[in-house]
A and B are shown apart, each in its own frame.
Chain A
Amino acid sequence: MPNFLDYEFMRRALEAGLVLSIVAPTIGIFFVVRRYSAMADTLAHVSLAGVAAGMFFGLSSLWSALIACVIAILGIERLRERRTLASDTVVSLFLFGGLATGVVLLGLRRSAGINIASFLFGSVLTVTGDEVRNIAVLGALALAVAALLWEPFFAVSLDEDVAQAAGLPVKTLNRLLAVLGAATIAISIHVVGVLLIGALMVIPVLAAMQFRLGFRATWAIATAVSALSTVTGLILSYYLNLASGATVVLCAVAFFLVSMAVAAGLAGKRHPARQ
Chain B
Amino acid sequence: MPVKKTAAIEAKGLTYVRNGEALFENFSFTIAPGSYVAVIGPNGGGKSTLLRVLLGLLEPTKGSVRVFGLPCGDMHARRRIGFVAQRGGLIDPSFPATSEEVVAAGRTQVRGLLARPSASDEKAIDAAFDATNIGHLRHRVIASLSGGERQRVLLARALAAEPDILMLDEPIEGLDPGSREEFYATLKALNKKGKTIIFVSHDVHRIAKEADSALCLRHELVCHGEKACVVTGSAMKNLHHDHNDLEAHHGFHENGEPHGNDH
Instruction: Report which residue of B75, B106, B113 has the largest number of chain A beta carbons within 10 angstroms of its beta carbon.
Output: B113
Within 8 A of A (CB), among B96-155: 96-98, 100-102, 104-106, 108-109, 113-114, 117, 141, 143-144
Residues of B within 8 A of A (CB-CB), count = 35
Please tell me if the beta carbons of B89 and A161 are within 8 angstroms of each other in the complex.
yes
For the complex, give the distance between the alpha carbons of A88 and B249 in Å.
37
List, in ascending order, chain B residues with CB within 8 A of A217's CB.
96
Please tell me if the beta carbons of B96 and A161 are within 8 angstroms of each other in the complex.
no
Interface flag for B224 (CB, 8 Å): no
Please tell me if the beta carbons of B57 and A158 are within 8 angstroms of each other in the complex.
no
Contact check: which of B78, B83, B100, B161 meets A161 at CB < 8 Å? Answer: B83
Interface flag for A258 (CB, 8 Å): no
Please tell me if the beta carbons of B109 and A166 are within 8 angstroms of each other in the complex.
yes
The A interface is mostly helix, strand or loop, or mixed, namely helix
Please tell me if the beta carbons of A164 and B96 are within 8 angstroms of each other in the complex.
no
Contact check: which of A148, A161, A208, A214 meets B101 at CB < 8 Å? Answer: A214
Interface flag for A4 (CB, 8 Å): no
Interface flag for A104 (CB, 8 Å): no
Interface flag for A224 (CB, 8 Å): no
Q: A159-B85, A164-B57, A166-B78 are in contact. Are A33 and B161 (CB under 8 A)?
A: no
Q: A152-B108, A159-B90, A214-B98 are in contact. Are A166 and B83 (CB under 8 A)?
A: yes
List, in ascending order, chain B residues with CB within 8 A of A167's CB.
75, 78-79, 109
Q: A149-B113, A152-B113, A167-B109 are in contact. Are A162 and B83 (CB under 8 A)?
A: yes
Interface flag for A238 (CB, 8 Å): no
Interface flag for A154 (CB, 8 Å): yes
Interface flag for B91 (CB, 8 Å): yes
List, in ascending order, chain A residues with CB within 8 A of B262's CB.
none
Interface flag for B81 (CB, 8 Å): yes
Q: Contact residues of A with B, CB < 8 Å? A: 33, 35, 148-149, 151-152, 154-155, 157-159, 161-169, 208-209, 212-218
Can you list 15 A-B contacts (CB < 8 A)?
Answer: A149-B113, A158-B102, A159-B91, A161-B83, A161-B85, A162-B85, A163-B109, A164-B57, A165-B56, A169-B113, A209-B94, A212-B143, A213-B141, A214-B96, A215-B97
